[in-house]
Amino acid sequence: SKTLHIIGGGMAGSEAAWQAAHQGVQVVIHEMRPQVGTFAHRTGHLAEMVCSNSFRSDDHESNAVGLLHWEMRAAGGLIMEQAAVHRLPAGGALAVDRDPFAESVTARIKAHPLISVSYEEITELPDDGHWIIATGPLTSGALAESIRAATGAEALAFFDAIAPIVYAESVDMSVAWMQSRYDKGETAEEQTAYINCPLTREQYEDFIDALLAAEKTEFKEGETAGYFDGCLPIEVMAERGRETLRFGPMKPVGLTNPHQPDVKAYAVVQLRRDNKLGTLFNMVGFQTKMKYGAQTDVFKRIPGLTNASFARLGGIHRNTFINSPTLLDNQMRLKSHPHIRFAGQITGVEGYVESAAMGLLAGRMAAAEIKGETLLPPPPETATGALITHITGGAEAKTFQPMNVNFGLFPPINAKGGRRGRKDRYKAYTDRAKDAFTAWLG
């Protein structure tokens, strides 16, 4: 059959349906709400925003998520079209009136002659046909079980445990140094896999005090069930004892500080390379529920990170997502079951905008396939392309955690003729992206 079936009518599923229908393909969306609910959704509308009512920065000249807005508009995206209609004043952010927004997306979809919506929960991976799975962070249990059976237990996660990610260039290497513990690893790549930040006893005590005092986000009821085994937040570790971190993720063993070879560090924070480009590093073992403002305050106390800028801050959430770097091809198809694509947050992107962007891409790719064509992904110089390149290949598969769009995912622009100002540099990224995205659309 030439019909495209989409499971889940959230941000990604709605956008995927819209894009495919605009390519002339017949679409059925299978949405379980309102029959079956989730702990976060309140309505039966498509594209419901479950928490914040903001699509974040709309600055498409110097912000990566604003650039993603620009690209989605250029591609005729439904989510951006309706966000513009229901926009609320919010400075540089694209905030919307959430209920009318979701009602309009639903109405636009239902009015499209090529799209129909079937309100039902799908509980098993389909055997044949053309499918996109866009069931999001709160994918229903039965379907998650079926995905798990097809992909392997290791390849499907039910929580994210996100350690903060730092731009490599913002780490002060006159204080920090590169070395893997006990100098493990032969290749140059392995030897540049870790950055180490040393703390003296006073700095460690000060850090623990700040950590204990920091403001935390509370877990929602039912959110933590069966979770806390492997992956405690750092503040919980610190609450168990002031020394716990020093014998855990901050242990100073197997490392020699070349800046001060005679001084043994009291504790060390390790950062591990997070992408092949080497532009992003994550703070190893530093998953946290601290509020965002508190995280930057606390982490700036770590020597070497005084001026760090963060590509993303840490968090722990209920979040169903697959290990896309190992499971998906660059057409977003499950390698083992190529009639099934994945889109949205379940692919390991995070956020309304990123999820909708992955829906846009999956919808267009699936439509092309149904018409006997192949649509290549946009190049990594674009925001959409940077995301898809990251999740299907650029990210380290072993430590894969959900990712927001950010300039660290883009191929770096060489700052020839001296260091450009940050704003100019981001403008260079977004100019390059817009040209590349326009060419891809053409």
Exposed e or buried b per residue across 364-392, where buried means at least 16 C-beta atoms within 10 angstroms of its C-beta? bbbbbbbeeeebebbbbbbbbbbbbbbbb
**If binding means CB under 6 A, how many residues of this protein chain bind ligand FAD?**
35
Beta bridge partners of residue 269, listed in sequence order: 197
Given a contact cutoff of 8 angstroms between Cβ atoms, the answer to whether 55 and 353 are in contact is yes
**9 lies in the site for ligand FAD, by CB under 6 A:** yes
Pairing of strands 337-342, 54-57: unpaired
- 439 Cβ contact list (under 8 Å, min separation 6): none
Pairing of strands 165-167, 310-312: antiparallel
State residue 83 phi and psi, 5-degree precision: -65, -40
Footprint of ligand FAD on 338-367 (CB under 6 A): 344-346, 350-352, 355
Tokens representing 386 are: 């940077």
**40 lies in the site for ligand FAD, by CB under 6 A:** yes
Binding pattern for the stretch 18-37 against ligand FAD, x by CB under 6 A and - elsewhere: ------------xxxx----
Task: Using CB under 6 A, pick the residue from 52, 260, 336, 438 that binds ligand FAD.
Answer: 52
Which ranges of 86-214 does DSSP label H, i.e. alpha helix? 98-111, 141-151, 188-191, 201-213
CA dist 426 and 258 (Å) reads 33
- Min separation Cβ 177 and ligand FAD, Å: 36
Footprint of ligand FAD on 216-275 (CB under 6 A): none
CA dist 11 and 136 (Å) reads 9
Tokens representing 320 are: 């169903």
Peptide bond into 411 cis (omega under 30): no
Beta bridge partners of residue 321, listed in sequence order: 157
Name which of 32 and 403 has its Cβ closer to ligand FAD: 32
**102 lies in the site for ligand FAD, by CB under 6 A:** no
**103 lies in the site for ligand FAD, by CB under 6 A:** no
Task: Using CB under 6 A, pick the residue from 8, 304, 377, 394 that binds ligand FAD.
Answer: 8
- Min separation Cβ 15 and ligand FAD, Å: 8
Task: Using CB under 6 A, pick the residue from 4, 5, 6, 13 that binds ligand FAD.
Answer: 13
Name which of 21 and 346 has its Cβ closer to ligand FAD: 346
**121 lies in the site for ligand FAD, by CB under 6 A:** yes
The residue number whose beta carbon is nearest to ligand FAD equals 10
Name which of 30 and 246 has its Cβ closer to ligand FAD: 30
Name which of 12 and 193 has its Cβ closer to ligand FAD: 12
Residues that bind ligand FAD (CB under 6 A): 7-13, 30-33, 38, 40-41, 50-52, 121-122, 134-140, 143, 318, 344-346, 350-352, 355
